[in-house]
Amino acid sequence: MADIELIYDSGPRYSLGKVSFEGDTPFDEDLLQRMVPFKAGTPYDSELIAELNQALQSSGYFEGVRVDAAPTASKNDVIPVDVKLETRKPRTMGLGLGYSTDVGPRVKANWTRHWVNPQGHSYGWETEVSAPRQNVGVFYDIPLDPPLTDKLRFAGGYQNEEIADKDSLSKMLTLGPEWHSKLPSGWQRVVSLKWQREEYRLGDDSGLSTLLMPGVSYSYLKSDNRIDPHNGYRLAFETKVAKEGLGSDNNLVYGTALVKGLTTVFDKHRFLGRVQVGGSATNGFNSIPPSLRFFAGGDQSVRGYDYQSLSPENNEGDRIGGRYMVAGSVEYQYSIAEKWRVATFVDQGNSFNTLELPNLKTGVGIGVRWVSPVGPIRLDLAHALDDDGGIRLHFSMGPEL
């Protein structure tokens, strides 16, 4: 009989040294160091090196990134971290085409100057043109700390849109700062102060609205795949207010909420759910512009009904939008091939002016999904159960969450 004693001595643990950057880059050392997800002296972990590489790649500043942190190069148990950077071209331009049954064919274009100065400021513009809606927006971004998730944005935009009916329209100008940040919990937060001037016509009603609105929005996405998730959920909440006499010609409290969920069972059975609500409180609803009223119906709301067709009407039968809105959907998908799915769904919702027993409209239908490189492309046939509308075709694309 013998006793065996095993002694395992791994030796001292390596730690990470200060990150050094090489390459012909125009950026301040301070900006680059703020992108590093660890401090000098942190115990060595290969995942931290991968995070550093991913952070630099996703910054939008670089075309090539190489991170070297080999334990064999350590000195006094400290591993030097050397990063070689290749700066991307400072300007890019994009052009895209799309189609949905809500707005028909549309063209998108954007231009971005990815860096302006050593502090990493950027600016650009983007535009979208379709038959019912045309808009253009400009922005100037200042990275904060950490620079990959937090920024100060100065934004402005102009939009011309047909609202619900062809004889109703809105012309809107917006300006103001936005503070974007990612909280430790993973929530994305945007704090804003928006000045909005909107000229509108809703049937026989017309007006000119000016509002100065502080606001805040929160969003959270948990997903196992950004393009084609199998499980996950999205939460989004927004609120903004205006006070008459403080840069505004009306009192307003406005809020929206969105909850979407997706789960997959036994690989082929997918269940999706969505709930949207919105509401406003004001003592002068007749002076609230269309962009802050609620409409329902369409590809992303209640299928079986035309885009923005579910709305309170005036005495002339013009759709003028409501104080409140609710819309929900339950959908089942079955995978018939690697990139193909069939679907069936029930949607329900409406917009209205009173919370007492709102008249919700229901649409049911079937559809097909093709998982393209940019996300699922959806083709649906939906029937409105509460109106004599026959069968409507709905076409849309993009991620499920």
Contact status, residue 359 vs residue 349, Cβ threshold 8 Å? no
- Model confidence, pTM: 0.90
Q: In the chain, where are the structural domains located?
A: 15-87, 91-397
Contact status, residue 31 vs residue 19, Cβ threshold 8 Å? no
Class in CATH terms, 91-397: mainly beta
Q: How many CA atoms lie within 13 A of 264 on its CB side?
A: 15
What is the full DSSP assignment across 245-277? TTTBSS-EEEEEEEEEEEEEETTTEEEEEEEEE
Tokens 């409180």 identify what position? 281
The gap from C-alpha 85 to its chain's centroid, in whole angstroms, comes to: 30
Burial 142-161 (b: 16+ CB within 10 A, else e): bbeeebbebbebebbbbbeb
pLDDT 10s digits, 285-327: 888 999 999 999 999 999 999 999 999 988 888 889 999 999 9
Contact status, residue 302 vs residue 349, Cβ threshold 8 Å? yes
pLDDT 10s digits, 342-354: 999 999 999 999 9
Tokens 């700390």 identify what position? 145
Contact status, residue 217 vs residue 236, Cβ threshold 8 Å? yes
Pairing of strands 78-87, 15-22: parallel
Instruction: Say if residue 214 is preceded by a cis peptide, omega within 30 of 0.
Output: no
The tens-digit pLDDT sequence of the chain (401 residues) is 677 877 776 667 888 888 999 988 899 999 999 999 989 888 888 899 999 999 999 988 999 999 998 887 888 888 899 999 999 999 999 999 888 888 889 999 999 999 999 999 999 999 999 989 999 999 999 999 999 899 999 999 999 998 876 678 899 999 999 999 999 999 999 999 999 999 998 877 789 999 999 999 999 999 998 888 999 999 999 999 999 999 999 999 999 999 999 999 998 999 999 999 999 999 988 889 999 999 999 999 999 999 999 999 888 888 899 999 999 999 999 999 989 999 999 999 999 999 887 789 999 999 999 998 878 999 999 999 987 667 899 998 888 98
Tokens of 99: 């189609």
Q: Residue 377 and residue 372: Cα distance in Å, rounded?
A: 7
Tokens 């990493």 identify what position? 120
Burial 66-82 (b: 16+ CB within 10 A, else e): ebebeeeebeeebbebe
Contact status, residue 261 vs residue 356, Cβ threshold 8 Å? no
- What is the CATH T-level fold of the domain 15-87, as seen in this structure? Ubiquitin-like (UB roll) (3.10.20)
What pLDDT is recorded for position 23?
86
What pLDDT is recorded for position 318?
85
